[in-house]
Amino acid sequence: MPTYEYECEKCGYRFEKFQKMTEPPVEVCPECKEKKVKRLISAGSGVIYKGPGFYTTEYRSEEYKRKANEEKHAITSSSSSSCAGCSSSNCSTCKK
């Protein structure tokens, strides 16, 4: 729910009201009780993201996660065992 800023045109009293977007605007000044209130256009505040659910990595499908894990395993296992039993005559890692 947004916070709206209002100002009374009669007494100049400024106030904020936390209300639903569907609620009608405030019409009566809480200070002088006159019906001379107008809603102001304000800069508002920035959106603050708290908690999980805002990053694309949190919504990855199970298939995507499985394939990424397989690729990661393939890379780490191929790089660690490329020279352990290397029989290649042209190995760039062990320079055989």
91 part of a folded domain = no
Residue 21 covered by a domain: yes
Assess if residue 73 is contained within a domain: no
Is residue 19, in this structure, part of any structural domain at all?
Answer: yes
Query: Could you list the residue range(s) of the whole structural domain that residue 12 is in?
Result: 3-40
pLDDT digit string (tens) for 11-32?
999 999 988 989 999 999 999 9
Model confidence, pTM: 0.45
18: in domain: yes
The answer as to whether 86 is a domain residue is: no
Q: Rounded CA gap, 52 and 37, in Å?
A: 40
Going by C-beta distance under 8 Å and a sequence separation of 6 or more, which residues neighbour residue 93?
Answer: 82, 83, 86
Q: Which residues pair with 4 in a beta bridge?
A: 17
- % pLDDT > 70, the chain: 60
Alpha carbons 84 and 81: distance in angstroms, whole number: 5
What distance in Å separates the CA atoms of residue 81 and residue 73, rounded to the nearest whole number? 12
- Domain count across the chain: 1
| Helix H or strand E encompassing 18 | strand 14-18
